[in-house]
């Protein structure tokens, strides 16, 4: 067993690489701010032209309206109705209280009782993800990697599609990115106790928002356990264990309060997990060979996919990662955290039954763009060793990012806005794109 904190470096010693990457010039801040502004503009363009709302959106809206109007008494009735009716098990369960309470608060504040309340949460969550990714890049990535990561997320087909809908996927993406950021900070400075508390709180909120959060939260806790064992630190091992246990305890308590009993929450969760595997809609629209989902990512963002593969190689292949780290493109451990969470969700979606839907990838979309930013920074660094003309290289890099943004936005307006598509399943996107 590892001795307590033996060999664990101090924060200023451990993250010399990360600390070296935190000093930024004004052009980096301005570039990130401009891309966040672009992301806000793109997300705001099509908020009011949604022709119809999907069944999931209507279910979330009903839950939120019930909570806003009738409080916990009405919400417990929603639990009972859900568990008693097998026809409801294909739709979101009331256990996702962590998300539902947000549109309910919007409804109480504005008087609105329609999906616009949930869409506002999605819009804001998608924008906040840009801000968090920008700060994470400032902390742990090089200038080009930071700018490219925010640029890829600003024009992400998936984020543009989710940010106008009353689903909880954009909000879950924000929570997932915040957890990744906190884990990077813990890896960087493991002695700060409040970080473990923040991780537990974010973990509990994500688990109370959607079942897929168990995968990402589990991966992040496993990473911290690995770091604790590698560094021989009881602090990190104990902090990860307590954070995980605390999060689960909070979720169970929330189910007990909102559902009237702990059994109601467990029953509802088991129903939705079983029904999802047997969904006829998902079997028809979100199934196929494992490589089909990777191909879908290529269709909606070819440069993003290519650069993300380079970034993932930087994280998971030691020789590549060391080479990129020496070039100053990233903090290696931050990239490894992003790669593990992205690879875990990508693998489950690609190989799992009837899961090939961009909505299910929302929890990893920001880390996917982070990896793409790292890969893009490496490409820029490599070109610099060949041509050594800074202005020309900068113009080429901006041109590539601009071309990707135009491609992704055009695909979004053609596939999602132009057809009024109410989902982001692989079959529907490929059919419209005729690919």
pLDDT digits (tens, 9 = 90+) for 185-207: 999 889 899 999 999 999 999 99
431 token code pair: 């059919």
pTM of the model: 0.91
Q: Residue 22 falls within a domain, yes or no? A: yes
pLDDT in tens, 93-108: 999 999 999 999 999 9
Distance in angstroms (rounded) separating the CA atoms of residues 163 and 119: 7
Rounded Cα distance between 394 and 379, Å, is 12
Angle value at C-alpha 100, between 95 and 103, nearest 5 degrees: 175
Residue 267 within a domain: yes
- Is residue 5 included in any domain, yes or no? no
Interatomic CA distance for residues 27 and 14, integer angstroms? 28
Contacts of 327 (CB under 8 A, 6+ apart): 378, 381
Q: Is residue 6 part of a domain?
A: no
* Mean pLDDT value across the chain: 89
Q: How confident is the model at residue 313 (pLDDT cuts 50, 70, 90)?
A: confident
Asked whether residue 194 is domain-assigned, the answer is yes
Position 369 in a domain: yes
User: Does 4 reside within a domain?
Assistant: no
Cβ neighbourhood burial of 395 (10 Å; 0-12, 13-18, 19+): exposed
Who contacts 312 (Cβ-Cβ below 8 Å, separation ≥6)?
Answer: 339, 342, 343, 371, 375
Burial, 252: exposed, middle or buried (Cβ in 10 Å; 0-12, 13-18, 19+)? middle
pLDDT tens-digit readout, 389-422:
777 888 888 899 999 999 999 999 999 999 999 9
Number of domain units in the chain = 1
**Residue 31 within a domain:** yes
Q: Where in the sequence is the domain holding 405, given as residue range(s)?
A: 11-433
- How far apart are the C-alpha atoms of 37 and 123, rounded to whole Å? 13
């Amino acid at each position: 067993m590892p001795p307590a904190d033996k060999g664990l470096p101090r924060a200023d010693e451990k993250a010399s690489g990360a600390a070296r990457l935190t000093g930024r010039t004004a052009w980096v801040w301005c570039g990130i701010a401009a891309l966040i502004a672009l992301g806000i503009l793109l997300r705001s363009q099509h908020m009011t032209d949604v022709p119809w709302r999907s069944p999931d959106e209507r279910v979330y809206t009903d839950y939120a309206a019930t909570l806003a109007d009738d409080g916990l008494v009405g919400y417990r009735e929603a639990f009972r109705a859900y568990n008693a009716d097998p026809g409801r098990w294909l739709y979101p369960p009331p256990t996702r209280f962590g998300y539902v309470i947000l549109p309910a608060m919007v409804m109480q504040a504005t008087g609105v009782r329609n999906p616009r309340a949930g869409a506002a949460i999605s819009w804001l969550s998608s924008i906040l993800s840009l801000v968090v990714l920008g700060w994470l890049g400032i902390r742990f990535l090089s200038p080009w990697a930071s700018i490219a990561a925010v640029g890829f997320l600003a024009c992400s087909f998936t984020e543009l599609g989710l940010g106008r809908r009353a689903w909880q996927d954009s909000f879950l993406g924000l929570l997932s990115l915040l957890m990744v950021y906190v884990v990077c900070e813990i890896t960087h400075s493991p002695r700060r106790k409040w970080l473990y508390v923040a991780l537990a709180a974010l973990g509990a909120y994500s688990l109370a928002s959607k079942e897929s959060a168990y995968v990402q939260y589990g991966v992040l806790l496993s990473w911290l356990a690995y770091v604790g064992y590698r560094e021989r630190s009881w602090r990190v091992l104990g902090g990860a264990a307590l954070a995980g246990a605390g999060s689960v305890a909070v979720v169970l308590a929330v189910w007990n309060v909102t559902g009237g009993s702990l059994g109601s929450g467990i029953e509802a969760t088991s129903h939705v997990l079983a029904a999802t595997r047997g969904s006829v809609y998902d079997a028809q629209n979100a199934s196929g060979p494992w490589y089909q989902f990777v191909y879908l990512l290529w269709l909606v963002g070819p440069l993003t996919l290519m650069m993300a593969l380079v970034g993932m190689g930087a994280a998971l292949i030691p020789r590549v990662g060391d080479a990129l780290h020496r070039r100053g493109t990233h903090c290696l451990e931050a990239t490894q955290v992003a790669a593990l969470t992205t690879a875990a969700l990508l693998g489950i979606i690609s190989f799992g039954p009837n899961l090939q839907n961009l909505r299910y990838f929302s929890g990893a979309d920001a880390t996917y763009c982070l990896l793409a930013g790292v890969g893009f920074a490496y490409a820029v660094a490599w070109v610099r060793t060949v041509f050594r003309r800074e202005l020309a290289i900068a113009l080429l890099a901006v041109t590539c990012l601009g071309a990707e943004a135009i491609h992704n936005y055009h695909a979004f307006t053609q596939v999602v806005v132009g057809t009024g598509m109410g989902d982001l399943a692989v079959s529907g996107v490929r059919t419209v794109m005729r690919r």
